């Protein structure tokens, strides 16, 4: 279940006992800023053929595409990220924390998010640890080796900051 954008309206759909969340408009805008949007295919920093807003080219994707197609891909790719975060985050997650997790999942993949220290620490109730775990995803895989990326480190810091907007600091006070 999920909340789906249908003809400009947002509908909530149940996932078992939980009402699934969706990326907010500001969360989507943040992901679009992070990913950028190009209306042609290109090789990303690790050589993956990409187009639109961070869309990995799939078999059957056309050689050329327009803004409408890029937006359709973005909506579908966001659904994958939302599903991973909904399945691997506590029901108590706030919207901005959810958006930050979706940005991470969009970038690293739903499977990587599902097994991430971010998801594990959230499940354990360690919200500050989960926030810090975003910073671990600051490397690119180049020829099978992990190489630090300043661009990813900066993105992860922005995602961590967004995540923490919903995290109370009162549990830090003795």
CB 101 within 8 A of CB 85: yes
Beta strands 55-56 and 49-52, pairing class: antiparallel
Q: Which of 35, 77, 82, 99 is catalytic?
A: 35
Q: Angle at CA 22, nearest 5°, toward 18 and 28?
A: 165
171 annotated active-site: no
Considering the candidates 9, 17, 44, 138, report the single residue annotated as catalytic. Answer: 44
- The beta-strand segments (E) located in 4-152 are 4-6, 9-11, 14-15, 18-19, 38-43, 49-52, 55-56, 139-142, 145-148
Instruction: Identify whether 35 is a catalytic site residue.
Output: yes
Q: Which residues are catalytic?
A: 35, 44
């Amino acid at each position: 279940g999920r909340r789906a954008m249908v003809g400009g309206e947002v509908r909530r759909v149940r996932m078992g006992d939980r009402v699934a969340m969706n990326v907010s408009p500001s969360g989507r805008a943040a992901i679009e800023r992070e990913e950028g949007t190009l209306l042609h295919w290109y090789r990303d920093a690790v050589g993956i053929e990409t187009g639109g807003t961070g869309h990995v080219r799939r078999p059957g994707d056309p050689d050329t595409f327009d803004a409408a197609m890029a937006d359709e891909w973005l909506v579908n790719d966001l659904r994958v990220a939302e599903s991973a975060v909904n399945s691997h985050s506590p029901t108590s997650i706030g919207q901005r924390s959810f958006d930050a997790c979706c940005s991470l999942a969009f970038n690293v993949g739903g499977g990587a998010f599902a097994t991430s220290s971010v998801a594990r620490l959230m499940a354990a109730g360690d919200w500050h640890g989960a926030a810090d775990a975003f910073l671990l995803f600051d490397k690119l895989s180049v020829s099978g080796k992990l190489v630090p990326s300043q661009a990813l480190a900066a993105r992860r810091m922005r995602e961590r900051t967004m995540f923490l907007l919903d995290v109370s600091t009162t549990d830090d006070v003795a």
